[in-house]
Amino acid sequence: MCYGKMFSVEMYFFLMKRIPNMSVLLKLFSALLLVSLIEARRFAKGPVKEDCLACICQVASNCTDSPCEKGKGCGYFKLTKKDWTMCAKPMGSWEKCAHNIGCSSSCIQIYVALYSFRCHGHSCEHAARLVNGGTSGCRDESTTPFWKNVKQCLKQK
């Protein structure tokens, strides 16, 4: 985890230098990414509660490190290259981040924080549906089965 700590510090300062007009929200979440990697938590802290993240992970991949396929998501949360890009490209590689539970969960936290406004609220359901269906997932009926599986997982905790 030392590599992850070193890289996250470098990434934070890189972001602060390269994007001086970056929104306060993005600065906050880049700092969140830094702190979560330094603390070496299983899941990153953020707007999505840990039990919800654990169930999203469980439903997405059985919380196992799934292989990457071109054009599809991979890792613990089926992180896509587009998702990784939206969370400031941590660890310098989509695959490396997807295969690191701390990094990929930080991306999920940032992604949900950035797009939860489209859901008119903030809940585990919204987070799960955003993760499953993209930026408009909370309004897409195709994400309902994913949410129902996450909800079932939450009941078992």
**CATH number for the domain harbouring residue 88:** 1.10.530.10
Rg, Å, the chain Cα set: 15
Q: Is the pLDDT of residue 96 over 50?
A: yes
Q: Is the pLDDT of residue 3 over 50?
A: no
**How would you class 20 by CB atoms within 10 Å of its CB: exposed for 0-12, middle for 13-18, buried for 19 or more?**
exposed
Longest Cα pair distance anywhere in the chain, in angstroms? Answer: 45
Residue 13: give the domain boundaries: 2-155
Q: How many domains does the chain have?
A: 1
First to last CA, the chain: 28
Q: What is the pTM of this model?
A: 0.74
pLDDT, greater one: 113 or 24: 113
The DSSP code sequence of 2-66 is HHHHHHHHHHHHHHHHH-TT--HHHHHHHHHHHHHHHTT-SS--SSS-HHHHHHHHHHHHTTS-B
- Distance (Å) of CA 138 to CA 31, 81, 97: 26, 20, 24
pLDDT, greater one: 71 or 76: 76
Packing angle, helices 124-133 and 50-61, rounded to 10? 30
State residue 94's pLDDT score. Answer: 92
Q: Are 53 and 42 in contact (CB under 8 A)?
A: no
